[in-house]
Structure 1
Amino acid sequence: MTLRRFSFIYSICLMCIFSALLIGYRYYFEYPQILQRIVMLQTRELHAVDIMIDQQLQQLAISNYDYAVWDESYEFIQYPTRAFITENFLDDTFTSLKIDGAIFVGKNKKIQWERGFDYVEKRALSVEPLDVVTAEIVNITYPTSSQTDAVPQKMGFISTNYGPVMFASSQLRQSDRSGQQVGMLLFIRKVRLSLIHQLADFSQLSITQGDINAQQNIDHIPDISAPIGDAAFSLTRQRVIKDITGKAIIILNIRHINNDPPPFFNHTLQIILVVLITIPFILQWIVNLMFIRPITIGITNIVNMIYRGELTPLKGESNILEIQKLITSFNQLVNIVNQQKEDLEVLALKDALTGIANRRAFENHLSLSWSLTQRNALPLAIVMVDIDFFKHYNDNLGHQAGDAAIQQVATTLSQHLVRNDDMVARYGGEEFAIILINTDISHVQSMMSRLLLAVRHLAISHPGSSVSSHLTISLGAAVTTQFECTSVDELLLHADQALYQAKSAGRNNAMLWGS
């Protein structure tokens, strides 16, 4: 054998070894990691579907809570009147709350009143909720809790003769969350094809609804909230939505439309093979520079994000098409998840009608304000505001005019709060609540006087008022410097008592508790 032939054979063998090593590296290490990253993205997409479902349930639960924790609902379940239903459960009520059924259940778990109304088609249901909601369903949706300081609630899906529906239920309580266990209010919403479309749009997935029949075995299909885990890479999956009893009632056929894996033999790999044929000794440098280092940095960044519990876009760019596609897809998903998180936080703490804080946001802010003022020995004031004779206003001018009046009053109250720590919230119905931090009694009295005058200057005609020809408000306030306040509930109670005094004194005025 000549030296030239030996050199040629040696070069060929060396080329084959390095080529085999490169191909083996891509097949056994790099490509599985790329697929694993894609599976992580798919996990995020499936989680987005679960978030959207939870968001729908939370919105339904918030509406249900607002109607259940209300003095008028609490009184109705004990002393039913037709006037309460006529005033509060009109067709527009079902449309604005996006519900298809409302059921009042008494303490003995017997349905006391129920009505079905298709809020999408704006017509009465062909069957009453009583024909859909059986005694068994009432029993499993009735909320119970061992906690004494919270209103028991339930939400989820249930299977009915009509089909799968979403539900939210709350035990009835007075507006201050006090009262006995006298019954519950149950809201239901049909599961429509539009929900599937919303899930697809929200998660950027292709989703269709499958059929469930009695002969089909679906025990092997995971729940929508279940992680992918160690499952093999796939662009298509099935998930189920289960009812509150754990029974699968909806099958989702899911396709990941933005996660196609990169080709195994891509243009970059072919170029590297050519380089390896001519320059084998630079293999380690090329592999480390173009493959290992970018992947390691990306994995390290993602692991740190998971450890911190905070997702941020990956910085930098890669010359490798697959890695850059993965970075781009991951950054897009991060932006979607962060935006969804912000949207969910806003929806959970914002009143849908007025755009100001809702009762849940008020209670959270009040708890934080109480801790801050107690720790720093600062005064804290609560002002309760109620629109005078608002029921007469609705009776004379209609609920749409009533909603518009509530919006104007909410805007006016908000415009008079200029400090960042102060808050005005819609407390329920026509009632508002204001939190003022580090303020004295004279400032509270001055603030109430300005609010009284500002609402009067709106000059909203009120033909049903017995104190003025225009819409007015009554205010009641309590300040921690007035008395030895031992809890935030006591402060809230005194503010509510001051509001009651203002109403008893003829309305269209303001009262400071203890004055």
Structure 2
Amino acid sequence: MKISNFSVKQLTVLASIFMAATFVICYLTFRYFFTYDLAVERAFNQQQEEVHRVKTLLKLQKNELAKNLMDYASWDEIADYIAGENDDLLQDSLNDHTFSALEVSGIFIFDPHVSLVWGRLYDYVKHKELSYAPIRYKFGALLADSLRSPTDKLTSVVKFLVLDGQSHLMATSRVCNSEGVDCDKGFMMMIKPVGQEFSGTLRQATGLAVEIKTKDEFESFDTLTENVSVIEKLDFQNDSTVFVEIHHSVKIPDFITWRELSAVLAFAVFMFGFNLALAHIIVRPVKRVCSALDSLISGNASTLTEQDSFISYEMRDFVYRINEVFNQLEAKQKELEWLALHDALTKVGNRRSLQQYWDALVEQCGERHISLLLIDIDYFKPFNDHYGHIEGDHVLQQVALCLEQAKTQCDKFVARFGGEEFCVVLSSQAKIENQQEAEWLRAAIVELQISHQYSPIADCITVSSGVADCALQPLEELQDIFLVADSALYQAKDLGRNQCVVHSL
């Protein structure tokens, strides 16, 4: 079966079926091997599990600190020390070993009036005393939650605290008796650092890269990637001052891998080649039509091309119809060319043809005498208002024809300038008698004897003329010469109309 027996529609159907089948196979293959949405959801759920593990460990650390504090706060020895009855407490129970065993860096004891009885900040790793001056005047705020706690049972409050630019956990509670009641003996506070060592503990416990940063160290959420989560922690003033940055071990997969991209590109190249070949087969006859059109435009052919030389019957029908349309366009083109240079109503020249005629005269400047006349129908508006626009159009046609046929001793070009105004260009090798030429045109209009009962100067249509006499002078811009003729026209109107006035350049 020859391909010439197929229509464009059939070729398109065959190509579409092939492309659709190819796309379905490639799509199903892609869906089978690369399930991106499911992979993202799975990775996201695993990241949430990692976040939950970190939160659980943070909670355990807070619970452990709270438990240690409550153990001490329920000692009778602490209550006795506050009352001044146990001087051996510091040496026996709150020594350097206590700080190291509890992994705390600060212990503070207060009386019921929140006055500091004893306090110490101590680096148990470096065995170095630290200053607690930064929080010396904040004890009231630090103990605010414990001040509001009940006095009939032992409770503790754990918050985050930034001290000397480092993150800490702070636990506070009331001091009770050994039964955990009568909690009005005073207050106690423990501070535990949660810096690099604590981050290392979290890494070991979770297998994740976890960093604990203060507000000053943490830049912005905008700089984080989708594989990093942040847990905000509030301090004793309920401000976000500590951030736990979790770098997930499970990464969100890329939308497309190099392997996938290579497969897609290979498919795209294949489809491009196929479509290119198909388009070549379909477009080749169209190119032949275009070539025939070019030949026809240049006048080398009378029709586009032979219809039987095309593959499909649609293209044959297309060429047949194009041949018919082109013959009609050729006729219309001549009509459009005429309309482009003539006024449709009066059949005389328009402004465009006037400019072309003037440009031709400019080339002959110095050899011919030239004059430009502006002619205006007197009291044309009252004529239109009383006789109607149809009669007004008829008058314009009669005046235009009369101007073209009127007596003259010069070469003459007539154009409609706009509305009821006409422009006449006179040119001659000899000197032009402008007054006589303008009078001949004026008289010719009067001889038409077109009735105008509403004209105050005559009982028929008359015209006023303004003449710009260019003589043999170098021609300036047409617009400037129009201004001279227009000035003469206005003078003719001021003098009573139905007359001619000549101005020289």
TM over 0.5: no
Structure ID, larger Rg: 2
TM-score (norm 2): 0.44
